[in-house]
Amino acid sequence: MNKIEKMLQVYFIAGTQDIVQGTLFSVLEEALQAGITCFQFREKGAGSLNDPTEIEETAKKCQELCQAYNVPFLVNDNVELALKLGADGVHVGQSDQEIQEVLRLFAGKIVGLSCETAEHIEKANQLTEITYYGVGPVFGTISKADAVQPIGVKTLDTYARKALKPVVAIGGISLDNCQEVLATAVSGISVISAITRAESISQAVATLMKKD
């Protein structure tokens, strides 16, 4: 298992809007203690922060927590914020900033790209500087109002095998369905609510990490 594949094993995504109990910082620290392998700061959607200064301060505190546990800290979509903080990397979608420009700005850093179709995978395969692909949504998701139709586990496996870079599965992954996702060719899974809404974060992370 290479370094990137290991990083993608339990990939936690969250912002203040996802927290139902405690704070983003307390949930993140508990998740870091439990063994998450990567964290993506995603401050977006209903209930998220609007003030740029507050967003930056929140992201910085999350970054410091990740640094304390030696876990990569990525920023979702907000290229400017990621550059300002000196984040370990950035994750962008198909409709975000032009991927070639992002790769230029983050030369030598982690760049993840969301891929939802076979065509997305084929195009991404031509850009060797991309670090990993986020493929999905595998299942229906509550975190994105504009989410596309779920691709399902079988298509996920097909896409992961076509991909020339490690794949992290995204979209609607829970403690109940994670094992069927982990049985595919993906390197790991990314989750929001499976951790933020877990009764026990340590148990949740252990379940998400497990490969039968």
The mean pLDDT value of the chain amounts to 94
- Enter the DSSP assignment of 140: -
Confidence at 148, pLDDT banded by 50, 70, 90:
confident
Residue with the bigger pLDDT between 209 and 31: it is 31
Q: pTM to 2 decimals?
A: 0.95
Active site residues: 42, 114, 144
Structure tokens at 79: 């290229």
Res 140: pLDDT: 82
Among the listed residues 127, 141, 156, the one whose alpha carbon sits nearest the alpha carbon of residue 13: 141
Residue matched to tokens 């910085």: 60
SS3 of 63-117: the string is HHHHHHCCCCEEEECCHHHHHHHCCCEEEECCCCCCHHHHHHHCCCCEEEEEECC
Q: Looking at the predicted structure, is the pLDDT value of residue 141 above 90?
A: no
Q: Looking at the predicted structure, is the pLDDT value of residue 175 above 80?
A: yes
Kindly state the helix (H) or strand (E) to which residue 167 belongs, with its residue range.
strand 167-169
SS3 of 33-58: the string is HHCCCEEEECCCCCCCCCCHHHHHHH
Among the listed residues 95, 118, 172, the one whose alpha carbon sits nearest the alpha carbon of residue 141: 172
Kindly state the helix (H) or strand (E) to which residue 190 belongs, with its residue range.
strand 188-191
Crossing angle, helix 201-209 and helix 24-34, to 10 degrees?
Answer: 50
Kindly state the helix (H) or strand (E) to which residue 153 belongs, with its residue range.
helix 152-162
The pLDDT > 70 percentage for the chain reads: 94
C-alpha dist (Å) from residue 81 to 58, 87, 110, 155: 11, 8, 15, 34
Average pLDDT over every residue of 91-110: 91
Q: Using an 8 Å Cβ cutoff, are 117 and 124 in contact?
A: no
How many Å apart are CA 24 and CA 165, to the nearest integer? Answer: 30
Single-letter code of the amino acid located at 106: F
Query: Which range has the worst mean pLDDT, 11-15, 108-112, 141-145, 150-154?
Result: 141-145
Structural domains present in the chain: 3-209 (3.20.20.70)
* pLDDT (tens digit per residue) in 53-75: 999 999 999 999 999 999 999 99
The pLDDT > 90 percentage for the chain reads: 91
Confidence at 90, pLDDT banded by 50, 70, 90:
very high
